[in-house]
A and B are shown apart, each in its own frame.
Chain A
């Protein structure tokens, strides 16, 4: 149970990386989680699935460029300090 702040940052980076590598055409559309499936009805109840799809799509759009920088910094730091 000895968690440090560093392990939390590592876990967060790994999770965001995992969401960012989900490919739109090759994977998400195949299992019915594509971007076109998310915009279903325009009622006032978006539903859990469309919320999740929206979340995945927005994480992928927003975090692409910062993730490149964060990953490079992490790789350099891990190489230097082990």
Chain B
């Protein structure tokens, strides 16, 4: 074994120019099967080494980089290492953040965004609030207006921060640190709200298919109302701010109750029949509490912006 490793590499070091030495030694480690096949077929070792060196020296006379078999081997090995590394990183990342699930929430188009924004502001005429399913997975938001998405909450959150900066600027209270403070405040209230909702869903043993991301999406829909209130308050004055905020608060309460009722309550209770039972009553209270907490947040996160 040592003989077959030592002599071909020693022979190659004598034959090769210095810059090719590294590639030769790399190919030694990466493709021992080639060398082993060469040394195992015939009986006499000195004659066999001579034949191996003949075939390999023919390969080394080629000058260009791409036709060199050793550099090809090295490139192939490097790219396979890179693919392995990428696969490992993807697998680790997928364990923490389900990326394909996130992609589902961003599969929106312009018509969906327009209709959803209209639904957030005026949910009174919409009749069918059920999410359509397609073989156990919800249909993408592009095809079903009732499905929650993450595009509108994310954009609304960023727009809220910008509008807060604008509003503070009109009151001469702006500085770049305040933008960061507003952003982290709003984000932390969102985390607290989603955390408390998850905790209460766990304690009441509600069997729903509401995932964490669904809850983040539903909690992010209130930023749309906040932006509308603050912008109208900036343009038209405080009375208009209060009016638009009131309108958006009532709209978001109705939106949340109608959306969450189908997901949290049992099917019979969601259809409107009154089922007496402490479990359903508790779930109804939970739905109403989640819906009523939204206007409180909407007011507290915007009242200091319109003075």
Interface, chain A (partner B; CB < 8 A): 1-5, 7-8, 45-46, 48, 51-52, 55
Which 3 pairs, one residue from A and one from B, show the smallest C-beta to C-beta distance?
A3-B188, A3-B185, A8-B188
Contact of A1 among B191, B203, B204, B300 (CB under 8 A): B300
Contact A55 B203 (CB under 8 A): yes
Given A1-B185, A1-B300, are A8 and B192 neighbors across the interface (CB < 8 Å)?
Answer: yes
Contact B191 A55 (CB under 8 A): no
Contact B205 A46 (CB under 8 A): yes
In the complex, chain B residues whose CB is within 8 Å of the CB of A46: 205
Closest to B191 in A: A8
Contact of A55 among B185, B202, B279 (CB under 8 A): B202
Contact of B184 among A5, A51, A55 (CB under 8 A): A5
Q: CA–CA, A3 to B202, complex, Å?
A: 26
In the complex, chain B residues whose CB is within 8 Å of the CB of A1: 185, 300-301, 304
Closest to A50 in B: B205
Number of interface residues of B (CB under 8 A): 17
Contact B189 A3 (CB under 8 A): yes
Given A55-B202, A55-B203, are A2 and B185 neighbors across the interface (CB < 8 Å)?
Answer: yes
Q: Does B102 contact A (CB under 8 A)?
A: no
Closest to A1 in B: B185
Q: Mark B268-307, 1 if CB is under 8 A from A, else 0.
A: 0000000000010010000000000000000011001000
A2 vs chain B, min Cβ distance (A): 5
Closest to B187 in A: A5
Contact A52 B203 (CB under 8 A): yes
Contact A51 B185 (CB under 8 A): no
In the complex, chain B residues whose CB is within 8 Å of the CB of A55: 202-203
Question: 15 other contacts beyond A4-B188, A5-B187, A48-B204, with CB at 8 A cut-off?
Answer: A1-B185, A1-B301, A1-B304, A3-B185, A4-B181, A4-B184, A8-B188, A8-B191, A8-B192, A45-B279, A48-B282, A51-B203, A51-B204, A52-B203, A55-B202
Contact of B205 among A4, A5, A45 (CB under 8 A): A45
B180 vs chain A, min Cβ distance (A): 9
Contact B202 A51 (CB under 8 A): yes
